[in-house]
Protein backbone atom coordinates (compact mmCIF):
# COMPACT_ATOMS: atom_id res chain seq x y z
CA UNK A 1 0.00 0.00 0.00
CA UNK A 2 1.36 3.46 -0.93
CA UNK A 3 1.95 5.86 1.98
CA UNK A 4 -0.28 8.94 1.53
CA UNK A 5 1.44 12.25 0.79
CA UNK A 6 0.85 15.08 3.28
CA UNK A 7 1.87 18.71 2.94
CA UNK A 8 3.00 21.63 5.08
CA UNK A 9 0.72 24.62 4.46
CA UNK A 10 2.23 28.09 4.16
CA UNK A 11 1.25 29.18 7.69
CA UNK A 12 3.17 26.21 9.17
CA UNK A 13 6.37 26.68 7.18
CA UNK A 14 9.43 27.81 9.13
CA UNK A 15 12.77 29.00 7.72
CA UNK A 16 15.37 26.24 8.04
CA UNK A 17 12.98 23.34 7.38
CA UNK A 18 14.53 20.60 5.24
CA UNK A 19 13.42 17.52 3.30
CA UNK A 20 15.00 15.03 0.94
CA UNK A 21 14.25 12.19 -1.48
CA UNK A 22 16.61 9.32 -2.35
CA UNK A 23 16.29 7.72 -5.77
CA UNK A 24 18.36 5.25 -7.80
CA UNK A 25 18.64 6.18 -11.47
CA UNK A 26 17.56 3.10 -13.45
CA UNK A 27 18.20 2.39 -17.11
CA UNK A 28 14.42 2.35 -17.57
CA UNK A 29 14.24 5.93 -16.22
CA UNK A 30 16.43 7.05 -19.11
CA UNK A 31 14.16 5.37 -21.66
CA UNK A 32 11.04 6.87 -20.07
CA UNK A 33 12.61 10.33 -20.09
CA UNK A 34 13.62 9.97 -23.75
CA UNK A 35 10.09 8.98 -24.72
CA UNK A 36 8.32 11.63 -22.64
CA UNK A 37 10.67 14.51 -23.51
CA UNK A 38 11.55 13.59 -27.09
CA UNK A 39 15.25 13.91 -26.21
CA UNK A 40 16.83 10.88 -27.95
CA UNK A 41 20.41 12.05 -27.43
CA UNK A 42 22.35 8.74 -27.43
CA UNK A 43 24.55 10.05 -24.61
CA UNK A 44 21.56 9.31 -22.37
CA UNK A 45 20.54 5.89 -23.75
CA UNK A 46 21.87 2.72 -22.07
CA UNK A 47 24.04 0.64 -24.34
CA UNK A 48 24.61 3.43 -26.89
CA UNK A 49 27.92 5.12 -27.68
CA UNK A 50 26.88 8.74 -27.93
CA UNK A 51 30.29 10.35 -28.44
CA UNK A 52 32.06 7.75 -30.56
CA UNK A 53 34.67 6.77 -27.98
CA UNK A 54 33.78 3.08 -28.20
CA UNK A 55 32.02 2.88 -24.82
CA UNK A 56 28.36 3.49 -23.87
CA UNK A 57 27.80 6.49 -21.62
CA UNK A 58 24.27 6.22 -20.10
CA UNK A 59 24.58 9.74 -18.67
CA UNK A 60 21.45 10.72 -16.78
CA UNK A 61 19.92 13.78 -18.51
CA UNK A 62 20.49 16.93 -16.50
CA UNK A 63 16.79 17.78 -16.49
CA UNK A 64 15.93 14.29 -15.21
CA UNK A 65 18.36 14.77 -12.34
CA UNK A 66 16.92 18.24 -11.66
CA UNK A 67 13.39 16.81 -11.69
CA UNK A 68 14.20 15.01 -8.44
CA UNK A 69 14.08 18.43 -6.80
CA UNK A 70 10.46 18.79 -7.84
CA UNK A 71 9.79 15.38 -6.27
CA UNK A 72 10.84 16.81 -2.90
CA UNK A 73 8.97 20.09 -3.31
CA UNK A 74 5.78 18.47 -4.61
CA UNK A 75 5.86 15.37 -2.44
CA UNK A 76 7.34 16.42 0.90
CA UNK A 77 8.11 20.10 1.53
CA UNK A 78 5.87 21.96 1.11
CA UNK A 79 4.19 18.92 -0.55
CA UNK A 80 0.88 18.46 -2.40
CA UNK A 81 -0.57 21.75 -3.65
CA UNK A 82 2.83 23.33 -4.36
CA UNK A 83 3.41 25.09 -7.68
CA UNK A 84 6.70 26.33 -9.13
CA UNK A 85 7.48 29.99 -9.77
CA UNK A 86 11.18 29.77 -10.66
CA UNK A 87 14.07 27.32 -10.49
CA UNK A 88 17.74 28.09 -11.05
CA UNK A 89 20.12 25.23 -11.82
CA UNK A 90 23.88 24.87 -11.98
CA UNK A 91 25.18 21.50 -13.15
CA UNK A 92 28.50 20.75 -11.47
CA UNK A 93 28.66 16.98 -12.04
CA UNK A 94 27.18 14.07 -14.00
CA UNK A 95 25.11 11.13 -12.87
CA UNK A 96 24.81 7.78 -14.64
CA UNK A 97 22.40 4.87 -14.76
CA UNK A 98 22.78 2.75 -11.63
CA UNK A 99 23.77 5.63 -9.33
CA UNK A 100 21.83 6.52 -6.20
CA UNK A 101 21.05 10.25 -5.87
CA UNK A 102 19.74 12.36 -3.01
CA UNK A 103 17.67 15.50 -3.72
CA UNK A 104 17.53 17.99 -0.83
CA UNK A 105 15.68 21.26 -0.23
CA UNK A 106 16.07 23.79 2.59
CA UNK A 107 13.66 26.66 3.21
CA UNK A 108 15.53 29.99 3.01
CA UNK A 109 12.79 32.63 3.16
CA UNK A 110 9.05 33.28 3.10
CA UNK A 111 7.42 36.13 1.19
CA UNK A 112 4.09 37.66 0.26
CA UNK A 113 1.51 35.69 -1.68
CA UNK A 114 2.60 32.37 -0.10
CA UNK A 115 6.04 32.68 -1.70
CA UNK A 116 8.61 30.20 -0.37
CA UNK A 117 12.25 30.25 -1.45
CA UNK A 118 14.36 27.08 -1.15
CA UNK A 119 17.98 26.13 -1.55
CA UNK A 120 18.02 23.04 -3.79
CA UNK A 121 20.70 20.44 -4.39
CA UNK A 122 21.07 16.94 -5.88
CA UNK A 123 24.07 14.97 -4.68
CA UNK A 124 25.48 11.51 -4.30
CA UNK A 125 25.18 9.83 -0.87
CA UNK A 126 28.81 10.82 -0.15
CA UNK A 127 27.93 14.50 -0.57
CA UNK A 128 29.32 15.01 -4.11
CA UNK A 129 27.09 17.68 -5.64
CA UNK A 130 25.57 17.07 -9.08
CA UNK A 131 23.13 20.01 -9.31
CA UNK A 132 22.65 23.08 -7.16
CA UNK A 133 20.36 26.10 -7.30
CA UNK A 134 17.34 27.83 -5.79
CA UNK A 135 13.59 27.42 -6.22
CA UNK A 136 10.69 29.76 -5.60
CA UNK A 137 7.27 28.18 -5.21
CA UNK A 138 3.71 28.99 -4.29
CA UNK A 139 3.25 27.03 -1.07
CA UNK A 140 -0.13 25.34 -0.44
CA UNK A 141 -2.73 27.37 1.41
CA UNK A 142 -4.35 24.51 3.33
CA UNK A 143 -3.53 21.01 4.55
CA UNK A 144 -3.89 18.31 1.88
CA UNK A 145 -3.43 14.54 1.94
CA UNK A 146 -3.07 12.66 -1.33
CA UNK A 147 -3.01 8.87 -1.89
CA UNK A 148 -1.31 7.92 -5.16
CA UNK A 149 -2.62 4.34 -5.23
CA UNK A 150 -4.64 4.69 -8.44
CA UNK A 151 -1.95 6.28 -10.59
CA UNK A 152 -1.20 4.21 -13.71
CA UNK A 153 2.13 2.44 -13.72
CA UNK A 154 4.65 2.16 -16.56
CA UNK A 155 6.26 -0.88 -18.13
CA UNK A 156 9.21 -0.13 -20.41
CA UNK A 157 9.02 -2.17 -23.61
CA UNK A 158 12.59 -3.37 -23.90
CA UNK A 159 13.81 -6.91 -24.08
CA UNK A 160 16.74 -7.34 -21.75
CA UNK A 161 16.42 -11.13 -21.56
CA UNK A 162 16.84 -11.54 -25.33
CA UNK A 163 19.79 -9.15 -25.19
CA UNK A 164 21.43 -11.48 -22.66
CA UNK A 165 20.74 -14.51 -24.87
CA UNK A 166 22.45 -12.78 -27.78
CA UNK A 167 25.40 -11.84 -25.57
CA UNK A 168 25.80 -15.52 -24.64
CA UNK A 169 25.41 -16.84 -28.19
CA UNK A 170 27.54 -14.39 -30.19
CA UNK A 171 30.96 -15.42 -28.74
CA UNK A 172 30.25 -19.12 -29.39
CA UNK A 173 31.19 -20.86 -32.66
CA UNK A 174 28.59 -20.18 -35.34
CA UNK A 175 26.53 -23.34 -35.87
CA UNK A 176 26.10 -24.58 -39.46
CA UNK A 177 22.39 -24.29 -40.20
CA UNK A 178 20.42 -25.70 -43.12
CA UNK A 179 17.98 -22.95 -44.13
CA UNK A 180 15.13 -24.44 -46.14
CA UNK A 181 13.59 -22.30 -48.91
CA UNK A 182 14.83 -18.81 -47.95
CA UNK A 183 13.06 -17.56 -51.07
CA UNK A 184 11.29 -14.49 -49.69
CA UNK A 185 12.99 -11.33 -48.34
CA UNK A 186 11.92 -11.87 -44.72
CA UNK A 187 12.99 -15.51 -44.64
CA UNK A 188 16.40 -14.78 -46.16
CA UNK A 189 17.04 -11.65 -44.11
CA UNK A 190 16.51 -13.48 -40.81
CA UNK A 191 19.14 -16.10 -41.64
CA UNK A 192 21.66 -13.55 -42.91
CA UNK A 193 21.12 -11.30 -39.89
CA UNK A 194 21.96 -14.23 -37.60
CA UNK A 195 25.04 -14.94 -39.74
CA UNK A 196 26.19 -11.33 -39.37
CA UNK A 197 25.93 -11.74 -35.62
CA UNK A 198 28.09 -14.90 -35.91
CA UNK A 199 25.33 -17.05 -34.44
CA UNK A 200 24.80 -19.35 -37.45
CA UNK A 201 26.58 -20.23 -40.69
CA UNK A 202 23.66 -20.57 -43.12
CA UNK A 203 23.50 -23.14 -45.90
CA UNK A 204 20.76 -21.86 -48.22
CA UNK A 205 18.68 -24.64 -49.81
CA UNK A 206 16.11 -23.65 -52.42
CA UNK A 207 15.56 -22.05 -55.81
CA UNK A 208 18.69 -19.97 -56.54
CA UNK A 209 16.74 -17.49 -58.69
CA UNK A 210 14.19 -16.82 -55.95
CA UNK A 211 16.93 -16.58 -53.33
CA UNK A 212 18.80 -14.08 -55.52
CA UNK A 213 15.63 -12.02 -56.02
CA UNK A 214 15.02 -11.94 -52.25
CA UNK A 215 18.64 -10.92 -51.71
CA UNK A 216 18.30 -8.05 -54.18
CA UNK A 217 15.26 -6.72 -52.31
CA UNK A 218 17.16 -6.81 -49.00
CA UNK A 219 20.48 -5.60 -50.43
CA UNK A 220 22.23 -8.81 -49.37
CA UNK A 221 25.51 -10.01 -50.87
CA UNK A 222 25.15 -13.79 -51.25
CA UNK A 223 28.76 -14.49 -52.22
CA UNK A 224 29.87 -15.58 -48.70
CA UNK A 225 27.13 -18.20 -48.42
CA UNK A 226 26.69 -21.72 -49.77
CA UNK A 227 23.59 -22.18 -51.94
CA UNK A 228 22.16 -25.63 -52.68
CA UNK A 229 20.01 -25.71 -55.82
CA UNK A 230 16.73 -27.46 -54.93
CA UNK A 231 13.54 -25.67 -56.02
CA UNK A 232 11.18 -28.39 -54.74
CA UNK A 233 10.30 -27.68 -51.11
CA UNK A 234 9.85 -31.30 -50.09
CA UNK A 235 13.22 -32.26 -51.53
CA UNK A 236 14.79 -29.15 -50.03
CA UNK A 237 13.54 -30.19 -46.59
CA UNK A 238 14.85 -33.71 -47.19
CA UNK A 239 18.24 -32.26 -48.17
CA UNK A 240 18.37 -30.32 -44.90
CA UNK A 241 17.64 -33.49 -42.94
CA UNK A 242 20.36 -35.34 -44.85
CA UNK A 243 22.87 -32.58 -44.02
CA UNK A 244 22.19 -33.10 -40.32
CA UNK A 245 22.85 -36.83 -40.65
CA UNK A 246 26.02 -36.11 -42.59
CA UNK A 247 27.25 -33.73 -39.90
CA UNK A 248 27.19 -30.73 -42.23
CA UNK A 249 24.42 -28.99 -40.26
CA UNK A 250 23.69 -28.77 -36.55
CA UNK A 251 20.34 -27.00 -36.88
CA UNK A 252 17.54 -26.60 -39.42
CA UNK A 253 15.79 -23.27 -40.07
CA UNK A 254 12.42 -22.82 -41.72
CA UNK A 255 12.29 -20.41 -44.64
CA UNK A 256 9.35 -19.66 -46.92
CA UNK A 257 7.59 -23.03 -46.98
CA UNK A 258 4.73 -24.67 -45.15
CA UNK A 259 5.66 -25.95 -41.70
CA UNK A 260 3.97 -29.27 -42.47
CA UNK A 261 6.30 -29.82 -45.43
CA UNK A 262 9.39 -29.23 -43.30
CA UNK A 263 8.20 -31.28 -40.34
CA UNK A 264 7.03 -34.06 -42.64
CA UNK A 265 10.66 -34.78 -43.53
CA UNK A 266 11.87 -34.33 -39.97
CA UNK A 267 9.44 -36.85 -38.44
CA UNK A 268 9.88 -39.57 -41.08
CA UNK A 269 10.57 -42.89 -39.38
CA UNK A 270 13.16 -43.77 -41.98
CA UNK A 271 15.84 -41.09 -42.33
CA UNK A 272 14.14 -38.33 -40.35
CA UNK A 273 15.41 -36.55 -37.26
CA UNK A 274 13.22 -38.27 -34.69
CA UNK A 275 14.46 -39.40 -31.31
CA UNK A 276 12.65 -41.48 -28.71
CA UNK A 277 10.72 -38.36 -27.66
CA UNK A 278 7.85 -36.52 -29.29
CA UNK A 279 8.66 -33.27 -31.08
CA UNK A 280 7.23 -30.16 -29.46
CA UNK A 281 7.34 -26.44 -30.05
CA UNK A 282 8.55 -23.95 -27.43
CA UNK A 283 7.98 -20.22 -27.51
CA UNK A 284 10.80 -18.52 -25.58
CA UNK A 285 9.31 -15.15 -24.64
CA UNK A 286 10.76 -11.90 -23.35
CA UNK A 287 7.82 -10.18 -21.66
CA UNK A 288 8.35 -6.53 -20.67
CA UNK A 289 8.16 -6.14 -16.91
CA UNK A 290 8.80 -9.84 -16.18
CA UNK A 291 12.13 -10.46 -14.48
CA UNK A 292 12.84 -13.76 -16.26
CA UNK A 293 12.35 -15.49 -19.59
CA UNK A 294 8.97 -17.16 -20.02
CA UNK A 295 8.53 -20.33 -22.07
CA UNK A 296 5.15 -21.42 -23.48
CA UNK A 297 4.69 -24.94 -24.82
CA UNK A 298 3.27 -26.52 -26.98
CA UNK A 299 1.72 -23.87 -29.19
CA UNK A 300 2.41 -25.12 -32.71
CA UNK A 301 2.76 -28.89 -33.17
CA UNK A 302 0.78 -31.18 -30.84
CA UNK A 303 -2.91 -30.32 -31.22
CA UNK A 304 -4.43 -32.32 -28.36
CA UNK A 305 -1.52 -34.03 -26.59
CA UNK A 306 -2.17 -37.09 -24.43
CA UNK A 307 -0.50 -37.63 -21.08
CA UNK A 308 2.72 -39.18 -22.39
CA UNK A 309 3.05 -36.49 -25.06
CA UNK A 310 2.66 -33.83 -22.37
CA UNK A 311 5.45 -35.51 -20.41
CA UNK A 312 7.68 -35.27 -23.48
CA UNK A 313 6.64 -31.64 -24.02
CA UNK A 314 7.68 -30.82 -20.45
CA UNK A 315 10.98 -32.68 -20.71
CA UNK A 316 11.82 -30.93 -24.00
CA UNK A 317 11.15 -27.53 -22.42
CA UNK A 318 13.19 -28.35 -19.30
CA UNK A 319 16.14 -29.45 -21.44
CA UNK A 320 15.94 -26.23 -23.42
CA UNK A 321 15.77 -24.19 -20.21
CA UNK A 322 18.99 -25.86 -19.04
CA UNK A 323 20.71 -24.86 -22.29
CA UNK A 324 19.53 -21.27 -21.75
CA UNK A 325 21.11 -21.13 -18.30
CA UNK A 326 18.15 -22.01 -16.05
CA UNK A 327 19.45 -24.82 -13.82
CA UNK A 328 16.14 -25.93 -12.29
CA UNK A 329 13.24 -24.43 -14.22
CA UNK A 330 9.85 -24.06 -12.56
CA UNK A 331 7.14 -25.66 -14.69
CA UNK A 332 3.50 -24.67 -14.28
CA UNK A 333 1.02 -27.07 -15.89
CA UNK A 334 -1.96 -24.89 -16.78
CA UNK A 335 -5.68 -25.44 -16.68
CA UNK A 336 -8.72 -23.25 -16.12
CA UNK A 337 -8.61 -23.91 -12.37
CA UNK A 338 -5.99 -24.81 -9.79
CA UNK A 339 -7.88 -27.74 -8.22
CA UNK A 340 -8.30 -31.23 -9.59
CA UNK A 341 -11.70 -31.61 -11.23
CA UNK A 342 -12.59 -34.97 -12.82
CA UNK A 343 -14.76 -33.12 -15.33
CA UNK A 344 -11.73 -31.19 -16.64
CA UNK A 345 -9.21 -33.60 -18.14
CA UNK A 346 -6.36 -31.06 -18.12
CA UNK A 347 -6.52 -30.87 -14.30
CA UNK A 348 -6.14 -34.65 -14.06
CA UNK A 349 -3.23 -34.62 -16.50
CA UNK A 350 -1.55 -31.81 -14.58
CA UNK A 351 -1.81 -33.63 -11.28
CA UNK A 352 -0.40 -36.83 -12.79
CA UNK A 353 2.46 -34.96 -14.46
CA UNK A 354 3.37 -33.35 -11.13
CA UNK A 355 3.50 -36.79 -9.53
CA UNK A 356 5.54 -38.15 -12.46
CA UNK A 357 8.11 -35.44 -11.81
CA UNK A 358 8.21 -36.32 -8.12
CA UNK A 359 8.90 -39.96 -9.04
CA UNK A 360 11.69 -39.12 -11.51
CA UNK A 361 9.74 -39.77 -14.72
CA UNK A 362 10.32 -36.12 -15.64
CA UNK A 363 13.68 -34.77 -14.56
CA UNK A 364 15.63 -31.54 -14.21
CA UNK A 365 12.85 -29.19 -13.12
CA UNK A 366 10.13 -28.48 -10.57
CA UNK A 367 6.70 -29.38 -11.95
CA UNK A 368 3.39 -28.39 -10.37
CA UNK A 369 -0.22 -28.33 -11.49
CA UNK A 370 -2.96 -27.82 -12.10
CA UNK A 371 -2.40 -24.08 -11.95
CA UNK A 372 -4.55 -21.34 -13.41
CA UNK A 373 -2.72 -18.66 -15.35
CA UNK A 374 -2.96 -16.07 -12.58
CA UNK A 375 -1.54 -18.19 -9.80
CA UNK A 376 1.11 -19.69 -12.06
CA UNK A 377 2.81 -16.34 -12.66
CA UNK A 378 1.67 -14.05 -9.82
CA UNK A 379 2.74 -14.68 -6.22
CA UNK A 380 -0.08 -12.58 -4.79
CA UNK A 381 -2.69 -14.54 -6.74
CA UNK A 382 -1.15 -17.82 -5.55
CA UNK A 383 -1.18 -16.63 -1.94
CA UNK A 384 -4.79 -15.48 -2.24
CA UNK A 385 -5.78 -18.98 -3.39
CA UNK A 386 -3.78 -20.52 -0.55
CA UNK A 387 -1.44 -22.40 -2.89
CA UNK A 388 1.84 -23.46 -1.26
CA UNK A 389 4.27 -24.39 -3.98
CA UNK A 390 7.78 -23.64 -5.19
CA UNK A 391 6.30 -23.15 -8.67
CA UNK A 392 3.10 -21.18 -8.11
CA UNK A 393 3.64 -17.50 -8.81
CA UNK A 394 7.15 -18.20 -10.12
CA UNK A 395 6.60 -20.37 -13.21
CA UNK A 396 9.24 -20.04 -15.94
CA UNK A 397 7.68 -22.68 -18.23
CA UNK A 398 3.94 -22.69 -18.91
CA UNK A 399 2.58 -25.99 -20.23
CA UNK A 400 -0.77 -25.46 -21.91
CA UNK A 401 -3.58 -28.05 -22.21
CA UNK A 402 -3.60 -28.00 -26.03
CA UNK A 403 -2.25 -26.19 -29.06
CA UNK A 404 -5.20 -23.79 -29.30
CA UNK A 405 -4.65 -22.52 -25.76
CA UNK A 406 -0.90 -22.22 -26.31
CA UNK A 407 -1.22 -20.36 -29.57
CA UNK A 408 -3.71 -17.90 -28.10
CA UNK A 409 -1.60 -17.36 -24.98
CA UNK A 410 1.58 -16.72 -26.95
CA UNK A 411 -0.11 -14.29 -29.32
CA UNK A 412 -1.83 -12.47 -26.46
CA UNK A 413 1.55 -11.96 -24.81
CA UNK A 414 3.03 -10.80 -28.12
CA UNK A 415 0.32 -8.39 -29.22
CA UNK A 416 -1.11 -7.20 -25.90
CA UNK A 417 1.88 -7.40 -23.55
CA UNK A 418 4.39 -6.47 -26.30
CA UNK A 419 6.50 -9.58 -25.72
CA UNK A 420 9.12 -10.75 -28.18
CA UNK A 421 8.87 -14.45 -29.03
CA UNK A 422 11.52 -16.84 -30.30
CA UNK A 423 10.29 -20.15 -31.70
CA UNK A 424 12.06 -23.50 -31.68
CA UNK A 425 11.13 -27.18 -32.06
CA UNK A 426 12.71 -29.59 -29.59
CA UNK A 427 12.81 -33.37 -29.40
CA UNK A 428 14.61 -33.94 -32.72
CA UNK A 429 18.25 -34.81 -33.26
CA UNK A 430 18.93 -31.09 -33.65
CA UNK A 431 16.96 -27.92 -32.89
CA UNK A 432 14.54 -26.68 -35.56
CA UNK A 433 14.21 -22.89 -35.89
CA UNK A 434 10.67 -21.78 -36.73
CA UNK A 435 10.27 -18.11 -37.55
CA UNK A 436 7.17 -16.22 -38.64
CA UNK A 437 6.76 -13.54 -41.27
CA UNK A 438 5.48 -11.31 -38.45
CA UNK A 439 8.72 -11.68 -36.47
CA UNK A 440 10.92 -8.61 -36.20
CA UNK A 441 14.72 -8.65 -36.28
CA UNK A 442 15.05 -9.17 -32.53
CA UNK A 443 12.76 -12.21 -32.57
CA UNK A 444 14.56 -13.76 -35.57
CA UNK A 445 17.94 -13.25 -33.92
CA UNK A 446 16.67 -14.64 -30.64
CA UNK A 447 15.29 -17.77 -32.34
CA UNK A 448 18.71 -18.45 -33.85
CA UNK A 449 20.45 -17.72 -30.55
CA UNK A 450 18.16 -20.14 -28.70
CA UNK A 451 18.86 -22.82 -31.32
CA UNK A 452 22.60 -22.21 -31.12
CA UNK A 453 22.62 -22.50 -27.33
CA UNK A 454 20.46 -25.63 -27.55
CA UNK A 455 22.72 -27.24 -30.17
CA UNK A 456 25.96 -26.43 -28.40
CA UNK A 457 24.48 -27.35 -25.03
CA UNK A 458 23.24 -30.72 -26.24
CA UNK A 459 19.66 -29.83 -25.35
CA UNK A 460 18.02 -30.96 -28.54
pLDDT digits (tens, 9 = 90+) for 331-350: 999 999 999 999 999 999 99
Q: Would residue 357 count as lying in a domain?
A: yes
Local confidence pLDDT in tens for the 460 residues of the chain: 467 889 999 999 999 999 999 999 988 899 899 989 999 999 998 878 888 888 888 899 999 999 999 999 999 999 999 999 999 999 999 999 899 999 999 999 999 999 999 999 999 999 999 999 999 999 999 998 888 766 776 766 667 788 888 888 889 999 999 999 999 998 899 899 999 999 999 999 999 999 999 999 999 999 999 999 999 999 999 999 999 999 999 999 999 999 899 999 999 988 899 998 999 999 999 998 888 999 999 999 999 999 999 999 999 999 999 999 999 999 999 999 999 999 999 999 999 999 999 999 999 999 998 999 999 999 999 998 899 899 999 999 999 999 999 999 999 998 898 888 999 999 999 999 987 767 777 778 889 999 999 988 744 4
Spatial neighbors of 40 by CB under 8 A, at least 6 apart, are 34
Domain that holds residue 107: 5-146
| 394 assigned to some structural domain | yes
Q: Are residues 171 and 259 in the same domain?
A: yes
Q: Could you tell me which residues come within 8 angstroms of residue 276 by beta carbon, excluding any fewer than 6 positions away?
A: none
Same domain assignment for residues 238 and 333: no
Beta-carbon count within 10 A of 151 CB: 8
Query: Which of 274, 298, 320 is the endpoint of a domain?
Result: 274
- 444 within a domain of the structure (yes/no): no
* Same domain, yes or no: 329 and 352: yes
Residue ranges of alpha helices (H) inside 170-306 are 185-196, 208-218, 233-246, 259-266
Same domain, 160 and 267: yes
Residue 460 lies in a domain: no
Residues 159 and 212 in one domain: yes
Look at residue 365 and tell me if it is in a domain: yes
Residues 6+ apart with CB under 8 A from 364: 315, 318, 319, 322, 328, 329
Are 180 and 296 in a shared domain?
no
Same domain for 140 and 172?
Answer: no
162 shares its domain with 103 = no
**How many structural domains compose the chain?**
3
**Which CATH number is 219's domain given?**
3.40.718.10
**Are 333 and 371 in a shared domain?**
yes
Residue 457 lies in a domain: no
Decide if 437 is inside a domain.
Answer: no
Same domain, yes or no, for 218 and 178?
A: yes
pLDDT tens for each residue of 403-423: 999 999 999 998 898 888 999
Q: In terms of domains, do 291 and 421 share one? A: yes
Amino acid sequence: MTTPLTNVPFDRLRVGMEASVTRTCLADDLYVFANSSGNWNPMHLPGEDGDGDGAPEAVAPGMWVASLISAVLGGKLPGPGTLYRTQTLRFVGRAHAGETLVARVKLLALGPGRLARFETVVERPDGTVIVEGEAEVDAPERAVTFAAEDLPGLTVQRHVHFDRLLERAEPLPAIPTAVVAPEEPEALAGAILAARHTIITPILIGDPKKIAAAAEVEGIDLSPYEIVDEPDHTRAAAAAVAMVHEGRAKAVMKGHLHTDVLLGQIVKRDGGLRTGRRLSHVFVMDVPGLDHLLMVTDAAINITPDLQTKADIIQNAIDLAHALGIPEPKVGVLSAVETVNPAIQSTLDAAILSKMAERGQITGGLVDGPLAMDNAIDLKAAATKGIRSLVAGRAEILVVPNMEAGNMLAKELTYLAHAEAAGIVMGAICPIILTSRADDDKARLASCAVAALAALGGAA
